[in-house]
Amino acid sequence: MEQNKVAREQQIAVFGESGSGKTVLLSSFYGLAVEQLLSGTEQFDVLAADNAQGRRLHQNYLGMKNSAVLPIQNRFAATAYAFSIKRKPGTASKARRKAPEELRLVWHDYPGEWFETEPSEPAEEERRIDTFRALLGSDVALVLVDGQRLLDNAGEEERYLKALLTNLSTQLLKLRDNLLEDGKPLVTFPRIWLMALSKADLLPDMDVIDFRDLLVEKAGAELNKLQDVIATFVEVPEALSVGDDFVLLSSAQFEPEKIEVTKRVGLDLILPIAAMLPFSRYVRWALAMRKGAKVAEHLLRVARPVADFIGNDRLVVLLARLPGPVGNAVALIGPFLMQTVLDLAGTKLLDMHAEAKAKHDFLNETLTGFQLELDRGDGEKVLLRSRV
């Protein structure tokens, strides 16, 4: 579907070593959505853009739920999965802007084997480069830390964590020259890199603050190195957040001969993270910039759907004028954007959500609901967001 027919599209890139749980995570996310068990699905449907992909993910989920069978690992397979988030048929809408597909999530799965092995032939190396190019439109990247590997290295977690982060930094460096045209840093690139504990059910006593502390204590230098490496990819590296946000993820509760797919952790946060986490940070970064006009323009374009939140026609018009003198645009729209950031971070959010629901405004109700879900994740110590 054309980008201009989607009110908001967000892409998320997922990185993790082989066996870290990427396929199980995605299958559980989609299966729960199909069964209307994912938060928000009482209001909207999550539909796979590719029916065959959707059936495979649903089949994986049913195999876990009914037969305690884990999905077969799809080695060296680089796949993008697109999901439409649509209002349920028959529900009224009074939203000002109509779109056949109001929200869309594109999930990029980067094969874990590519962090662990060198290309066996030039064609495979080219596939790695093409795969990474495909995910450059993502604003958010998840780096999975395998809970099972932490257990296997209990007391010596640094052995695993240092290797994980070093491998990621090394592979990114190897890709860099092929991704940067004439060595010029990129405007569009994942700028928020979350650290995600996968298989969190294996560590039930660890909350997200404990997870953050473990990473910083055991592999703080390697996390800083990863940030330095990623900064070399982007124009205006000040607009970058690496290892400042943390989330716990568990696809299910795994027991001998039984997988409880409804006992999950963090899966309800995936859509809110992808759709809303960049918003306030991008606004702050853009408004603080004194140079980097193209980057400021990109950040403001990502934040553009905020106009729907506050119903301010002047803001809609100003954002529509981009591109142009970005400094002037920032000066004009800054107060409107910042007020909305404050509203979404404060008590007014509940009022905004209730008003959108009363007006049957699907887009606003969904996005404010996502923001409430992020706040809930913080409160339950499943999510830890940077305050910078």
And the tokens for 161? 């964590």
Q: Is the pLDDT of residue 333 over 60?
A: no
CA gap 226, 261 in Å, rounded: 33
pLDDT at 286: 77
Tokens 């979404």 appear where?
344
pLDDT-derived band at 218, boundaries 50, 70, 90: very high
Name the residue range of residue 138's domain.
3-278
380 is a domain residue: no
Nearest to 197 by CA among 183, 212, 186: 212
103, 87 contact by CB (below 8 A):
no
Lowest-confidence range among 83-92, 138-147, 150-159? 83-92
The yes-or-no verdict on residue 255 having pLDDT over 80 is: yes
Q: Residue 178 maps to which CATH number?
A: 3.40.50.300
Q: Are residues 72 and 194 in the same domain?
A: yes
**Is residue 327 situated within a structural domain?**
yes
Asked if pLDDT for residue 243 goes beyond 90, the answer is yes
User: Based on the structure, what is the number of domains in the chain?
Assistant: 2
330 and 220 belong to one structural domain: no
Q: pTM for the full model?
A: 0.87
* Residues 307 and 183 placed together within one structural domain of the fold: no
Answer yes or no: do 202 and 314 share one domain. Answer: no
Residue 32 has pLDDT above 90, yes or no: yes
Return the pLDDT at 43: 87
Which residues make beta-bridge pairs with 198? 146
The conformational region for residue 223 under phi > 0 = left, psi -120 to 50 = alpha, else beta, is alpha
Instruction: Identify whether residues 37 and 75 lie together within a single domain.
Output: yes
Bridging pattern class, strands 241-248 and 101-110: unpaired
DSSP state of 115: G
Q: Are residues 265 and 241 located together in one domain of the fold?
A: yes
Does the pLDDT at position 26 exceed 70? yes
Q: Do 74 and 175 belong together in one domain?
A: yes
Is there a single domain that holds both residue 29 and residue 86?
A: yes
49 and 182 assigned to the same domain: yes
Shared-domain flag, residues 271 and 307: no
Q: Which of 109-123, 190-204, 309-323 has the highest mean pLDDT?
A: 190-204
Residue where a domain stops, chosen among 258, 278, 298 = 278
When pLDDT is averaged across residues 128-145 and rounded to a whole number, the result is: 93
Q: Which residue has the higher pLDDT, 130 or 293?
A: 130
Cα(362)–Cα(34) distance, integer angstroms: 19
For residue 184, the Cα-to-chain-centroid distance in whole angstroms is 25
